[in-house]
Structure 1
Amino acid sequence: MTEARWLNENHIPTIEEYMRISKKSGAYPLLILTSYIGMGDISTKEIFIWVSNEPRIVNAAATLCRLMDEIVSSEFEQKRGHVCSLLDCYMKQFDMSREAAIQECKNRMTIVWKDINEECLRPTKVPMPFMICVLNLSRFMDVIYKNKDNYTDSNGLMKTFIKEVLVDPVPI
């Protein structure tokens, strides 16, 4: 509802406001949480409570997803009448060019990758398979949003990948 209000009011929020809302509306923490359901008996109530509280690794993964998506899809989304992008927020808040805003997003991506890596390298009370799941979902963002929006463009790279995995798999 907040994003709909921003669109209707032609409002460009601060970067912090935008990220707080868009990380949730992008549903990436929910994707991580639901991926744990398929992990069987090792998925305990405590794991679901842990991931629901958006620990550092989950927050970093959601941020990474949002940043990568924003860089490659903001122009297309603006053409179809979408809410402002993170790039718009950067450009307004810091009076910078689109290119400079993209560079800021890339700089933040470096930081959140470090957060993800640190969380995976440090001993934790959370079993490693759950950390690796977040890591792998983060790696997948690189497939979806590397150089273009392969999520929205269903005829592009993702179609090829899906066909290679499901239609023409490598025989084992």
Structure 2
Amino acid sequence: MRVSRTSCCYSLLILASYIGMGDKVTENIFKWVTNEPKIVNGAANICRLMDEIVSTEFEQKRGHVCSLLDCYKKHHGMSREAGIQECQKGVAIAWKDINRDCFRPTEVPMDFLTRALNFSRFMDVFYTDKDNYTHAEGLMKTYIKDVMVDPIPI
């Protein structure tokens, strides 16, 4: 999971989202993210595991490299379905870590935790039921059109 978390670059994306927050961002915030707090690891785990669940078959068909799910199945001698169930358990554990950090913010202000939380929420848009990131022509196209072309007037 450590390699998979790193390869999805989620920690970097969360960190980059802090850049526009002005004077609130201190060197300690950047150190906090790079020390892999549970909320940041949880967000990266959700990204990686949800992606694995919906995109592994497609990636295998196009000759993609070995996936986390394939490695887990081979290492534990289990079926694809059992591997997916384990990934789903990992997603549930990651959500618990995120929720725990949000309910008891101690190290950093809630503004920074909310960014990591929102990145995790977005994975439900990308990866629930199918890979809407890779196949953006359906649901994602509609969402982007709703937000960018036909926004709700405020």
Question: Are residue 160 (structure 1) and residue 142 (structure 2) matched?
Answer: yes
Deviations 1:124-157 (A, max 9, x none): 1200000011001100011110111111112121
1:95, 1:38 → 2: CA distance? 46
TM-score normalised by structure 1 residue count: 0.86
In the alignment, the residues of structure 2 paired with residue 23 and residue 90 of structure 1 have an alpha-carbon distance, to the nearest angstrom, of 15
CA RMSD, aligned part only? 1.0
Whole-angstrom CA distance in 1 between matches of 2:123 and 2:68:
17
User: Which residue number in structure 2 is paired with residue 139 of structure 1?
Assistant: 121
SS in 2 for 1:137: helix
Give 1:60-139 correspondences, 5 Å limit.
Answer: 60-139=42-121
In the TM superposition, structure 1's runs of 4+ consecutive aligned residues that sit over 4 Å from their partners are none
Deviations 1:72-105 (A, max 9, x none): 0001111111111122112111111101110111
Structure 1: segments with no counterpart, 5+ residues: 1-18
> What displacement does 1:123 show?
3.2
Equivalent pairs: percent with the same residue? 68
Q: What runs of 5+ residues in structure 2 fail to find an aligned partner?
A: none
Cα displacement string for residues 106-134 of structure 1 (whole angstroms, at most 9, x for unaligned residues): 11111110000001111312000000110
Q: Which residue of 2 aligns with 1:46?
A: 28
Q: Is 2:50 aligned against 1:59?
A: no
Q: What is the TM-score of this pair, normalised by structure 2?
A: 0.96
